[in-house]
Structure 1
């Protein structure tokens, strides 16, 4: 057998450590989501590292991964898809994902001779006249969001201002705002409206984001509702979550999740 030159041994020893590091390190992958529907705000969740991001208007995203991590792609309009990071993705640091449209199909319903189950078609074929609204008779009307009971009560209570007390001398000031202001009823109604606003916002966030959030931030089922109330109790809950993007809301939830976990550990100790 021909002996191997010592220089070849040295070369092999130097090359061996360089073959694997790229696959063991955490790298940033640039990806693009494609689909028939809107591809903005698709949730991209690394279930392994519990990291997440959201696609931009072009469906593009960046996320840190390593070999064998599982990425979960989720949105209301698309079917959820998971991808395991392989050596090819790590090597090129790029990923292209095609999502299928999520369609909720309803069975066709035929009742009598006119109803088909197609709402637009049935409206055109049903007998009867549409109800008259305020536009038909030329009366201006309110078309905004209907007020809650507490909001209506607060409006009826009126807003007390100290300057109103001067109007008592002329006898031309309504008494309701003054009485409700001095008795504390107006303040109580304002607090009730704020609580209802926080509750409604919290429920909307829970319904829209809880599935994807808990996919990367595991929490026992019986603690999840308590977690959302914990978030809603934050003094800055409205500021961080009202009229904010899903990404900003998820970042807020992540911060509260860490605090919630710390509280659980303190309670156990």
Structure 2
């Protein structure tokens, strides 16, 4: 009877030891209030196995009690934790990470004869001339680079009298001219859009961010839009956009 009891105890101890040595998947989420949490490297130092977090900061890695985990990324301060039984009992272990801030002990500017005053330093810098086609004396340095549509239009009109006549008759030249004109209008419209931050469209004009391009396209097809943007007066253009935003919102 004592032998049976001893055998039972040995079996129990063996199974307990095996259970403690068996690794299970620790599932958790890396969080941050300032930085993106995708691509954080999660390393089990004990097994030297690792994984990375997904777009939402989620990770899953095989561990057992007393394993050491390290969480690292360029934008965060490294964090090291030791696996506990409590961690293994959680369905989603939360790991908060904090932004990595690099502090410079000292910045030396004197070896470069810099004073810190931009107005003075700019005049003292030994600036070399910018290397361009003009400074090198290359031919055709002032030639404008044509877009693909502009090159197609040029080809349709410069392929000889017969080809030019054919393109004029079948409407190819007219079509390409309209396409080039449309692209020019679009480029001017996008240039106007870049005058102002998206937040101004959203907060001042009450245009949703994902509808800003649609709003600019709506303005582009107004008869007086080109005349207004040709003034290049940003105040006048903004006043026009403000007026058109009311009309645009009323058509939703």
**Higher gyration radius (CA):** 2
Higher relative contact order (Cα pairs below 8 Å, separated by 6+ residues): 1
How high is the TM-score relative to the length of structure 2? 0.42
